[in-house]
Structure 1
Amino acid sequence: MRVETIKQYTSKLPAHDPHPYRTGAWSPNTVEVDAHDLEVIAGEIPADLEGVYLRNTENPLFDAITGRYHPFDGDGMIHAIRFEGGKADYRNRFVKTAGLLAELEADGPLWAGILESPALSQRDGWGARTRMKDASSTDVIVHNGVALTTFYQCGDAYRLDPETLAPRGVASLHHPSFTKGATISAHPKVDEATGELLFFNYSTEAPYCHVGIADARGALVRAIPVELPGPRLPHDMAFTERFAIINDFPVFWDPAKLAQNVYRARYYPDLGSRFGLVPRSGEGPVRWFTASPTYVLHFSNAYEEGHEVVLEGYFQGAPVPERTADDTPITMFMKSLDMHAMKTRRHRWRFNLETGATREEAVDDECSEFPTIHAGYAGRKHRFVYAATGEPGLFLFNGLTRTDVETGAKSTYRFPKGVFGSEAPFCPRKGATSEDDGYLVTFTIDAANDASECQIFDARDLERGPVARVRLPMRISSGTHATWTPLPGR
């Protein structure tokens, strides 16, 4: 392995940092490197795996203004591994957002974090509440050959070359009807059948939500307002061939607190849930369907079947985890990031376009989240879903699972104790002939040994374990989302 240090950043975090999401598997990275001809420590890199795996992570260089740090405050850093000809190269780069560059120049934090009051921000900013830093640390996708990083409380889409990670500026997706600084939320979607990019945003200003659609070249072609009863906190969207699917869940900022400029989310189960089917054409009204109360962080897919629109996602049985007599603010904070405490299970909703009725059912009893599918089936009926299983008590992934939604058959792989994985997208093998003909790729973090690997799994046989383990040049931080893109022209 040949490693070249590109840049070393100076961290201003506490010397003996006690924060559970800035230590262990979440310890930030502060160095950017290029590494070539990575060492394969077990198995072989499949010769028919050609593409780039991209992983976004939260990497803070500065503490929160009051010390009330949330892991999603961290600055975005992309880790990328490129496969070709049975070999692999790695590089990582900070996402050079306007906020990060300003804080580096000021040598300190300028914006309040998620757990802090926007009034503490020293400058105007971005986001659904307008005075945050757009960390661009939540998500990463590839559209029209360009990687786009995004932030879950809205901001801009930052463009990077998916192979070199060289910055390519900000995507031109803003529309005059959008709230300034809140152009796009995390979880935009690419429809591979049309090449379109679908996205949403939200804010505290009416109509509170928009759906945006960009063409295959990345030019915004439609901005569709979606009227909501008030400010909401959507996290993900889905789509079918005809519809974008937006949600109105009963977890949102307390209106009384919001009037005092305090952003504190509450659960209002009596309101139930609603799903809005937004015509992608921009023609016709949004159709709303009611459902049982919950909150959903991520949807696996949606498709049309006869007179129904079918949606699959991860239902939370306890969007606000139950408080016990022994709970402290710290333990409740930890529960808020624990899929076991939130009782997250795969769920299916069916919206009847003729009757307006909703049918829903729990379709899995295993606690899992962060689903991926074969991207070519997005918006169309799929058969296989891959997801991560959670470490009880922590926002960490201790395994991967595969489900055949047609038969219900499941297989699972657990990482060794103390080793945690990353979101694992499905990667079709070169010349693939079926939906599950390919691999899952993930980065692992072994905090005890200060080491990370890239592990490759046969998507049809997770229980076999990794078919290849590739040593990374350093231990990377845990984080949120990842994606896969084939090499250009392949």
Structure 2
Amino acid sequence: MTTAPARPAPVDLAHHSHLTGVNAPQREEVDVADLRITGELPADLDGSYIRNGPNPRFDPIGSFVYPIDGDGMVHRLTIADGRAGYTNRFVRTPMVVAEEAAGHAIWSGITDGYTPSAEDVGERLAGTVRELPDINIVRHGGRLMAMAEADQPYLLNPKDLATLTKTDCDDAMRVGSTAHPKIDPVTGEMVLFNYTLEAPYLTWSVVGADGRTVRPPTPIAGLTEPVMIHDMALTQRYVVLFVCPLIFDLEAVMTGGSLLSWRPDDGTRIALIPRDGGAVRWITTEPFWVWHFANAFDSGPDVTVDYVEWTYPSGFTDQPRRAASTITRAVIHPDGQISRAVISDNAIDMEFPRVDDRLLTRDHRCIASVSKGPLDSGSQDSLWFHDINADREECWSPGVAIGEPIFMPGTEHDYWGAIGTDPADMRSYFYVLSADDPAAGPLATVDLPIRVPAGLHGAWLPNSG
């Protein structure tokens, strides 16, 4: 007789860095129509900043690996006529619904290998793992989607953020999707990729501006084992994937080892996938890791890609030295050669690079990012603004834990926005900065009614879109 595995013990929240302080889960859901504002919200801003992130509905059991684990919570700040309102909701997957009925966590961390029995959750959910649409939020083709890592997203009601259903996006996401699809502002197409643990390991798809599939999941030839790829870049000619040597090691898992293995001897491979369906080109270079891309564009016969380059993925390797990150520009030449140049290395832990999304697939001038820095200022959260054409950068250090920047075009001027939380009193704010002079500090600071946990990704959704 086989004994069912025991339910894992609770995670020690008090000593977990991603479950305490500014990262602590938020369990409250609120709707507040009129928020307190310091300064003046620009009258030409009309839209919503909406952000998703890992936020366990109940205290986790087994393990909690940030940002892989955690239920989705979507936060929306609406701005119109100089006023602001706020709404937040959990993404209610079947797992969240079942746990709410039970009043406690049932599913463990995704790396634990534990799944609940039919006795715990019924036949339909028995043996399932937690669904995690908690990374990003995307609006496309009339759909508002909470995006997961290598899985299908969940549709949300755009009016009240209520969870509707899981979607395969007219079959384009039949095998799943990246959390970071790219929307071409010229064609309106949404382009995506997905990695899986079984051959062919990597596919790409295209959804038309009307929400209908243009290209179904199409295998990308050239891989012989499963790899983790978090983000992608897009030009007018190519889907660009950086295949860094972070490999899913299923044999190691069977013997109690790590799910992911860093293999620098393999180097980093770059796939240029023609959007017209032509043959994939592979370029190999020295090993490095990429979480996020800022943008990419065709520059004559070359392909230019701006991204944050890490020496290695520190969360998945036991390297004794600290992982370093830089804002980097790679230029891929027709002969397969690649040249890489550092745009900025003046801060530490640089991440979350963003540009004006209207310029995706085209040349851009400014990249905004988050860092701990400057290097000589201690561990201070800052927003950095890198003017590539002028070879100039500036930063704004608000004295709070600041999140990913977002570009917000107005009808007369342009702005940057970000959520920050003061670690002293755990109050959260939304800051609006002028795109012309972001280092001058906020034009307006919006007091959010509850604390918003730190991370992850969001989007500005103009009301005219």
TM class by smaller structure:
0.7 to 0.9
Output one character per residue of 1:157-211: Cα deviation in whole Å (capped at 9) or x when no partner. Answer: 11224453233433333749954xxx11211111111111111111111010111
The answer to whether 1:30 aligns with 2:27 is yes
Q: Is the CA contact (8 Å cut-off) linking 2:62 and 2:112 kept in structure 1? A: no
Report the aligned-residue RMSD.
Answer: 2.7
Aligned to 1:434: none
C-alpha displacement at 1:400, in angstroms?
0.6
Residues 22, 71 of structure 1: 8 Å contact kept:
no
CA drift of 1:46 comes to 0.6
Task: Name the structure 2 match of 1:230.
Answer: 225
SS in 1 for 2:68: helix
Q: Distance in 1 between matches of 2:13 and 2:390?
A: 50
**Pairs within 5 Å for 1:197-276:** 197-222=190-215, 223-227=217-221, 228-254=223-249, 256-258=251-253, 263-276=258-271
Aligned twin of 1:151: 148
Pairing partner for 2:98 from 95, 102, 121: 102
Give the alignment of 1:68-107 within 5 angstroms: 68-107=64-103
Q: Take 1:288 and 1:275, find their aligned partners in 2: how far apart are those partners?
A: 6
Shift of 1:348: 1.5
* Change in 2 beyond 3 A, CA 1:51/1:451: same
> Are 1:413 and 2:407 counterparts?
no
Counterparts of 1:165 and 1:177, CA distance in 2: 21
Are the aligned partners of 1:145 and 1:488 in contact in 2 as well (CA < 8 Å)?
no
Corresponding residue number in structure 2 for 1:399: 382
Q: CA deviation at 1:67?
A: 4.1
Distance in 1, matches of 2:13 and 2:285, equals 47
Q: Structure 2: which 5+ runs fail to align?
A: 1-8, 122-126
Q: How does 1:274-353 map to 2 (within 5 A)?
A: 274-281=269-276, 283-320=277-314, 341-353=322-334
- Partner SS for 2:29: strand
Offset at residue 482 of structure 1 (A): 1.3
The aligned counterpart of 2:129 is 132
The letter for the 2-side match of 1:296 is: V
8 Å contact 2:173–2:205 — kept in the other structure?
A: no
1:378 to 354, 360, 365: 360
Q: Which consecutive segments of 4 or more residues in structure 1 shift more than 4 A?
A: 12-16, 174-179, 258-263, 321-325
Cα gap change, 1:381/1:89 in structure 2, threshold over 3 Å: closer, same or farther?
Answer: same
Q: Distance in 1 between matches of 2:11 and 2:102?
A: 18
- Pick from 434, 440, 443: which aligns with 1:464? 440
Q: What is aligned with 1:6?
A: none
Given the two structures, how large is their TM-score scaled by the length of structure 2?
0.88
Question: Following the alignment from structure 1 to structure 2, what is the Cα–Cα distance between the partners of residues 162 and 458?
Answer: 28
User: How far apart in 1 are the matches of 2:87 and 2:329?
Assistant: 38
Q: Distance in 1 between matches of 2:103 and 2:360?
A: 43
Contact 1:50 1:487 in 2 (8 A): yes
**Secondary structure of 1:256's aligned partner:** helix
C-alpha distance 259-174 of structure 1, shift in aligned 2 (>3 A): farther
How many residues in Structure 1 have an aligned counterpart in Structure 2? 441
Matches for 1:174-213 after TM superposition, within 5 Å: 175=171, 179=175, 183-213=176-206
Alignment partner for residue 341 of structure 2, among 323, 345, 361? Answer: 361
Query: Do 2:179 and 2:230's aligned partners in 1 also have CA atoms closer than 8 Å?
Result: yes
Separation of aligned partners in 2, 1:161 and 1:219: 19
Counterpart amino acid of 2:343?
V
Opposite residue 391 of structure 2, the aligned amino acid is G
What whole-Å deviation, never above 9, does each CA across 1:192-234 have from its counterpart, x for those lacking one? 1111111111111101011111011222221221131200000
Instruction: Determine the C-alpha separation between the residues in 1 that align with 2:373 and 2:427.
Output: 19
For the 8 Å contact 1:399–1:412, the answer to whether it is kept is yes
Q: 2:92 and 2:57 mapped to 1: Cα distance?
A: 13
Which letter maps to 1:301?
N
SS in 2 for 1:17: helix
Structure 2 CA distance, aligned partners of 1:149 and 1:99?
A: 15
CA distance in structure 2 between the partners assigned to 1:324 and 1:202 by the alignment: 26
Aligned-pair CA distance for 1:135: 1.6
Uncovered stretches (5+) of structure 1, i.e. residues with no partner: 1-11, 326-334, 336-340, 432-436
For the residue of structure 2 that corresponds to 1:406, the secondary structure is coil
Q: In structure 1, what is the equivalent of residue 16 of structure 2?
A: 19
The sequence identity of aligned pairs, in percent, is 31
2:372 to 379, 390, 393: 390
